[in-house]
Amino acid sequence: MVSYKDLGLVNTRAMFAAAVKGGYAIPAFNFNTMEQMQAIVQAAVETKSPVIMQVSKGARNYANATILRYMAQGAVEYAKELGCAHPEIVLHLDHGDSFELCKDCIDMGFSSVMIDGSALPYEDNIALTKKVVEYAHKYDVSVEAELGVLAGVEDEVASEVSHYTKPEEVIDFATRTGCDSLAISIGTSHGAYKFKPEQCTRDPKTGKLVPPPLAFDVLHEIEKKLPGFPIVLHGSSSVPQEEVDTINAFGGKLPDAVGIPEEQLREASKSAVCKINIDSDSRLAMTAAIRKYLAENPSHFDPRQYLKPARENMKKMYIHKIVDVLGSDGKLLQQ
């Protein structure tokens, strides 16, 4: 049993309380490579932002759970080395699908876990979430739960259709489970193809797809039911057109990729939404830089040569999200 506190990590409680009060959101970036980790830490340190580094089941399978945990521990030390005296880094399990997986992560030093019982019948979701909360809280680990179903694909999490969270259920769910934050469904979705072209309209000038707006009415209803309770948005990449264009210009094929417009995420950040998950944008930033570099330098084969611009491009994206979208820059509780 390793306590996250010994690794210099923090749970989400204080940072969420401050974010809800301050009208901003904490970035939750998925990672599974060293370059992503470095870019996340550099961006957080330079902007003086708290940050959630999250690991999905797929990332654990790809990189190995032990390695990822040591990388998060390394991230804390790296942040200090970069000049941040009191880094606020959360190591979070994204989409835990069983009690055993959550327990395993807690026992190896995670400071926060998500238990996603959203595909289960309501009462089963409550029972599973409650079980995880009871275990996690013994070790002061925070728990995110999910109510409502998102459409799209994220590693092994896939759903054909979305079901908005029912505001009338949130009080009962939060009270009976004791969860620390709640992921809701208001129209965001996983992946780089968040909407089918037929769900969108087309901008007459650019011909680009314009996605349907998020269900802010549902969000506001939930906020009324649970004032000040931390809300989480999954699947909130904006799928930047310039990255998609770069990928397509250098041999990629991402037709009609579409994400959540940043203005809407900016608006959501000002509400009780205090954690915004961004994964696809990092993948796109990395792939765009690598494709471009290799196309322009066909004789190069040292991975450092193309991973360096990839890391730079991800870092630029992370800083942009922190400063221009979520507003978490300068929000470390201890400067």
Residues designated catalytic? 94
Q: Which residue type sits at 185? A: S
CB 102 within 8 Å of CB 115: yes
Identity of the residue, 154 or 243, whose beta carbon is nearer to Zn ion in the bound complex: 154
Identity of the residue, 18 or 51, whose beta carbon is nearer to Zn ion in the bound complex: 51
Instruction: Give the CA-trace dihedral at 262, 264, 267, 269, to 10 degrees.
Output: -60
Identity of the residue, 31 or 306, whose beta carbon is nearer to Zn ion in the bound complex: 31
Helix (H, G, I), strand (E, B) or coil at 24: coil
In the complex, the smallest distance separating the C-beta of residue 56 from Zn ion, rounded to whole angstroms, is 8
The DSSP element (H or E) to which 77 belongs, if any, is helix 65-81
Nearest residue to Zn ion on Cβ basis: 234
Tokens of 200: 């969108």
In the complex, the smallest distance separating the C-beta of residue 280 from Zn ion, rounded to whole angstroms, is 11
In the complex, the smallest distance separating the C-beta of residue 190 from Zn ion, rounded to whole angstroms, is 6
Burial class (CB in 10 A: 0-12, 13-18, 19+), 150: buried
Identity of the residue, 73 or 162, whose beta carbon is nearer to Zn ion in the bound complex: 162
CA distance 51 to 241: 25
SS (H, E, C) 237-271: CCCCHHHHHHHHHCCCCCCCCECCCHHHHHHHHCC
In the complex, the smallest distance separating the C-beta of residue 279 from Zn ion, rounded to whole angstroms, is 8
Binding site for Zn ion (CB under 5 A): 154, 234
Number of residues assigned to the chain: 335
Identity of the residue, 8 or 96, whose beta carbon is nearer to Zn ion in the bound complex: 96
Look at the block and give the residue holding tokens 């909130």: 236
In the complex, the smallest distance separating the C-beta of residue 7 from Zn ion, rounded to whole angstroms, is 24
CA distance 145 to 113: 9
Q: How far is CA 219 from CA 193, 224, 233, 246, 275, in A?
A: 23, 9, 10, 34, 14
